[in-house]
Amino acid sequence: MSTLKIKNRLYRDKLMLWIVCILAALSVGPLLAILGEVLLRGYDQLSWSFFTEPTPTAYKAMKAIEAGERIPGGIANGIVGTMIMLGMAIVIAVPAGILCGTFLAEHSNSRFAQIVSYLTDLLQGTPSVIIGIITYIWVVVPMKGYSAFAGSVALCIMMLPLIIRSTEETLKIIPASLKEAGLALGGNKARVMLKVQLPAAFGGIFTGILLAISRVIGETAPLMFTALGCSHIRFSVDKPISAVPLLIWEFFNDPNLQELIWGASLFLLLFVLTLNLIAKYLAKKWNQ
Amino acid sequence: MESVTPILEFKKTCVSYTKQTMAVKYVSATIEKNTITAIMGPSGCGKSTLLRAVNLMHNLYPNIRVDGEILLNGENILTMQAIDVRRRVGMVFQRPAPFPTMSIYDNVLSGFTLNGIKLSKAEKDATIEHCLKSVALWDEVKDVLNKKGTFLSGGQQQRLCIARALAMKPDVLLMDEPTSALDPIATKHIEELLLELQKEVTILIVTHNMGQAKRISSKSMFMYLGELVEYSDTETLFSNPVDERTKAYLTGKMG
Ligand SMILES: Nc1ncnc2c1ncn2[C@@H]1O[C@H](COP(=O)(O)OP(=O)(O)OP(=O)(O)O)[C@@H](O)[C@H]1O
Ligand SMILES: [Mg+2]
């Protein structure tokens, strides 16, 4: 090969590298910009009371703004509501999702499993507004009122497909030899699933659960139809309740409270980021 | 040879994966208690398929048909509950497969756990020590019993899998090329071990390694295209094969 050709190729390699770098920067740019914007604007709102006090009334906020003071209060009602609803959704969605995923992985060629699998895909693609409306009809109307329970049902429905899929996929990539080894020792299918296959799949399933949580924690639309919102800290399941993304929407609609948007957004962002980091870390640890 | 009681009998055993073809064709043979029987034959001749019929592994896949009879102590396996059969017939696979989430300790006991059998701490400890000693692994791992089984070397893992199978005190131990993923030293360890173990358990071992068959087995089967071509004392089979196909295989002209 002539030196000219080699030079040419090296040159092309370099060019490719540059193009890839530029494209990468282009796609990372907006991400960093969002993070930076939220951090800059939300940073000075973060204080202890921001996490322990409920939302101020518009009047109080207006007074504070007039006096040139920091807006009092915080987003504690939203955090408590989010946690309660997430907690209930997790309690239902995790066992149900794992069971369903297990079924799909074990009976992948049965007709019923194929239908379920298709429905799971459909559910995953369903816009969250629609899930909100459905939950409104199914839960809010019969129960004659908005409630934390209704909100958690909506979140649960949104989490299910993610958990089902991650369980199914992870179980499917576990070597069949493990299952056979378990059965060869005389175990029945259920015990082998419980003691051998599911533990081996734990990393993947747990990652799926964390991703499902980070997917729904910022959902606003389905909660508007179900949890509605509430201006004080509340722990009851059968009453309307607040949530952090609902608060962001409320803050946006109230000129006096707009300052608070950024603190709340920063909280959500950091929460999701932490979950993702944990998920990554676990996935890595599990693969070793 | 002290005892000549048959423990396992194949009677016209057939296995088919598809409707058109049979992977194992009318195999009939009697396996004596406390012996090592080697199954040899070219790749794809149905050795694994025959072996997996004995612990009803084929039951897991609805399309696979097993016909004929396989008698374990006179009882037809094919009409028994899979769980009962598998408790009495242990299996060691080609690739060592310790359960990755379990410690060495729990791996040895996994047969009990998977059968829902509860043991006292003392019974557990005694089982562990006995089983690991009988696979000559005890000295190497007695201080790391709580480590994951997957930290061990390949040969150690395979011995752990043998210990796991032995813990259930099976009558028959099926081994599908148990040393093919191991180096010569680990292989030698396991061969010595098997010779020791035949006092307790009847072993049916698939091997591609003729030297291995010669070294450890008292009886040998030669299979070809799903048929059991020849079955006799290992010595006879190697020194004086009757069938042309066996001769061809042993002299390296086939396989
Ligand atoms: N799951 C399966 N589905 C369909 N056919 C199969 C399946 N497993 C094995 N076979 C076929 O059955 C025949 C016997 O296979 P088997 O695995 O028993 O051979 P083997 O003697 O163990 O070979 P090797 O020495 O390579 O392990 C082969 O022709 C193979 O193609
Ligand atoms: Mg094989």
pLDDT tens figures, A37-55:
999 998 888 889 999 999 9
Please tell me which residue of chain B has the smallest CA distance to A201. B101
Chain B residue whose CA is closest to A181: B97
Q: What is the pLDDT of residues A115-165, one digit of tens each?
A: 999 999 999 999 999 999 999 999 999 999 999 999 999 999 999 999 999
> In terms of DSSP H, where are the helices of A148-231?
148-173, 176-184, 189-192, 198-216, 221-224
Q: Which of A126-135, B77-86, B199-208, B246-255 has the lowest mean pLDDT?
A: B246-255
Percent of chain A with pLDDT over 70: 99
Residue B180 and residue B212 in contact, taking contact as beta carbons nearer than 8 Å: no
Query: Are B219 and B34 in contact, with CB atoms under 8 Å apart?
Result: no
CA-B45 nearest atom, ligand 1: 21
Considering only the C-alpha atoms of chain A, give the largest distance between any 2 of them, rounded to a whole number of Å.
82
Interchain contact A110–B (C-beta under 8 A): no
pLDDT of residue A288: 61
Assess A173–B contact: CB distance below 8 Å, yes or no.
no
Ligand 1 pocket test, pick from B45, B50, B93 with the greatest ligand atom count within 8 Å of Cβ, gives: B45
Q: What is the residue whose two structure tokens read 């310790």?
A: B98
Look at residue B174 in the predicted model and tell me its pLDDT.
96
Give the position, in ligand 1's atom list, of the atom nearest the Cα of B47. Answer: 21
What value does the mean pLDDT of chain A take? 92
Tell me which of B24, B43, B49, B227 to substitute to probe ligand 1's pocket, judged by most ligand atoms within 8 Å of the beta carbon. B49
pLDDT greater than 50 at residue A205: yes
Q: Do B13 and B28 contact (CB within 8 A), yes or no?
A: yes
How many helices and strands (H and E) does chain B possess?
10, 10
Ligand 1 pocket by Cβ (under 6 Å): B 17, 23, 41, 43-49
Q: The tokens of A22 are what?
A: 């530029």
Question: For chain B, which residues lie within 8 Å of any Cβ of chain A, measuring from their own Cβ?
Answer: 55, 57, 60, 82-84, 86-87, 90-91, 93, 95, 97, 99-102, 110-111, 113-116, 161, 164-165, 168
A175 touches chain B (CB under 8 A): yes
Q: Do you know the residue count of chain B?
A: 255
Q: Which CA distances in Å does B1 have to B202, B211, B216?
A: 13, 22, 14
Chain B environment of A185 (Cβ under 8 Å): 86-87, 90, 110-111, 114-115, 164-165, 168
When the candidates are 1.10.238.10, 1.10.260.40, 1.10.3720.10, 3.30.70.1400, the CATH number that belongs to A76-287 is 1.10.3720.10
pLDDT at B1: 46
Superfamily of domain B6-97+172-250: P-loop containing nucleotide triphosphate hydrolases (3.40.50.300)
ipTM of this predicted structure: 0.91
| pTM, to two decimals | 0.86
Identify the band that residue B255 occupies on the pLDDT scale cut at 50, 70 and 90: low
Over residues B39-68, mean pLDDT: 94
Which residue in chain A is spatially nearest to B151 when comparing CA positions?
A: A288
Within an 8 Å CB–CB cutoff, is residue A196 touching chain B?
yes
User: Which three-class secondary structure state does DSSP give residue B47?
Assistant: helix
CA distances from A65 to A58, A73, A74, A251, A259 (A): 10, 13, 15, 14, 10
Specify the pLDDT at position A165.
96
pLDDT averaged over every residue in chain B: 92
CA dihedral for A171, A176, A177, A182, sign (positive or negative):
positive
Nearest to B213 by CA among B244, B171, B255: B255
Q: Looking at residue B97, what is its pLDDT?
A: 87
Domain parsing of chain A, residue ranges: 76-287
Mutate to test the interface with A, among B58, B107, B114 (most CBs of A within 10 A): B114
What is the reported pLDDT for B252? 84
Q: Provide the edge-to-edge strand list for the sheet that holds B65-72.
A: B75-76, B65-72, B6-16, B24-32, B227-233, B219-224, B36-40, B202-206, B172-176, B89-92
pLDDT at A287 exceeding the cut of 90: no
For ligand 1, the distance from its centroid to the CA atom of residue B207, given in whole angstroms, is: 14
Position B221 pLDDT exceeds 60: yes
> Sign of the C-alpha dihedral, residues B181, B184, B189, B194?
positive
Q: Would you say residue B27 has pLDDT above 90? A: yes
The total number of residues written for chain A in this structure: 288
pLDDT confidence bin for B3, thresholds 50/70/90: low
- Closest CA in chain A for residue B86: A186
Residue A89 pLDDT class (50, 70, 90 cuts): very high
User: Are B170 and B87 contacting, i.e. CB atoms less than 8 angstroms apart?
Assistant: yes
Which pairing describes strands B36-40 and B202-206: parallel, antiparallel, or unpaired?
parallel
Task: Report, as an integer, the average pLDDT of B66-72.
Answer: 95
